[in-house]
Amino acid sequence: MEAIIGNNDSALSGAPPSWDAIRWRQVERNVRAMQIRIAKATKEGDWRRVKALQRSLTRSFSAKASAVRRVTENQGKRTAGVDRELWDSPEARWAAIERLKRRGYRPLPLRRVFIPKANGKERPLGIPTMLDRAMQALHLLALEPVSEGTSDPNSYGFRLNRSTADAMSQLFLNLSKKASAQWILEADIKGCFDHISHDWLERNVRMDTSILRKWLKAGVVFQGQFQATDAGTPQGGIISPTLANVALNGLEKQLVKFLGTKLGVANSKKLKVNVVRYADDFVITGNTPELLETEVRPWVEQFLANRGLTLSEEKTRIVRIDQGFDFLGWNFRKYSGTLLIKPSRKNVQTFYRKVKEVISTNKTVKQTELIRLLNPMLRGWAQYHSPVVAKATFTRLEHDVFRALWRWAKRRHPKKKADWLRQKYFATVGDRTWVFRAAAKKDDGSRDWMELYSLPATAIQRHKKIKGDYHPFDPADEMYGEALRQERMQNSMSHRKQWVKLYMSQQGLCALCQCKMTKETGWHDHHIEHRVRGGSDVLGNRVLLHPSCHVQVHNHGLFVMKPAPVV
Cα separation, 54 vs 386, in Å, equals 40
The per-residue pLDDT for 292 is 96
Tens-place pLDDT, residues 497-540: 888 888 888 988 999 999 988 888 888 888 888 766 777 778 88
DSSP for residue 516: B
The per-residue pLDDT for 12 is 46
Among the residue ranges 170-179, 230-239, 292-301, the one predicted with the least confidence is: 230-239
Give the burial class of 19: count Cβ atoms within 10 A of its Cβ; 0-12 exposed, 13-18 middle, 19 or more buried: buried
The per-residue pLDDT for 567 is 46
For residue 532, give every residue at least 6 positions away whose Cβ sits within 8 Å of its Cβ, in sequence order, or none.
none
133 in Cβ contact with 238 (< 8 Å): yes
Checking if the pLDDT of 20 tops 90, the result is no
What value does the mean pLDDT take over residues 454-481? Answer: 93
- Residue 192: phi and psi, rounded to 5, are -55, -55
The per-residue pLDDT for 126 is 84
Checking if the pLDDT of 324 tops 90, the result is yes
What value does the mean pLDDT take over residues 459-487? Answer: 92
The per-residue pLDDT for 444 is 61
Can you list the positions of beta strands (E) in 406-536? 426-429, 432-441, 447-451, 524-527
Tens-place pLDDT, residues 346-388: 999 999 999 999 999 999 999 999 999 999 999 999 999 999 9
70-74 own/partner pairs: CB under 8 Å, 24+ apart: 70/134, 70/137, 70/238, 71/130, 71/133, 71/134, 71/137, 71/238, 72/130, 72/548, 73/521, 73/522, 73/546, 73/547, 73/548, 74/520
Tens-place pLDDT, residues 45-86: 999 999 999 999 999 999 999 999 999 987 777 788 888 899
Tens-place pLDDT, residues 219-234: 888 888 888 888 888 7
pLDDT band at 493 (very low <50, low <70, confident <90, very high): confident
Quote the distance between the C-alpha of residue 250 and its chain's center.
Answer: 22
- Residue 11: phi and psi, rounded to 5, are 55, 30
Q: Which residues of 352-379 are buried (b: 16+ CB within 10 A; e: fewer)?
A: beebbeebeeeeeeebeebbeebeeebb
What value does the mean pLDDT take over residues 227-254? Answer: 89
Give the burial class of 252: count Cβ atoms within 10 A of its Cβ; 0-12 exposed, 13-18 middle, 19 or more buried: buried
The per-residue pLDDT for 139 is 97
Among the residue ranges 131-145, 198-212, 428-442, the one predicted with the least confidence is: 428-442
The per-residue pLDDT for 229 is 85
Q: How many beta carbons lie within 10 A of that of residue 25, not counting itself?
A: 17
Arithmetic mean of pLDDT over the chain: 90
Among the residue ranges 28-37, 135-144, 188-197, 334-343, the one predicted with the least confidence is: 188-197
Cα separation, 91 vs 98, in Å, equals 12
The residues pairing with 116 across neighbouring beta strands, listed in sequence order, are: 122
The per-residue pLDDT for 9 is 45
The per-residue pLDDT for 559 is 81
The per-residue pLDDT for 375 is 96
The per-residue pLDDT for 548 is 83
The dihedral through the CA atoms of 539, 540, 545, 549 has a sign that is: negative
E strand or H helix at 184: strand 183-188
What value does the mean pLDDT take over residues 300-325? Answer: 95
183 in Cβ contact with 289 (< 8 Å): yes
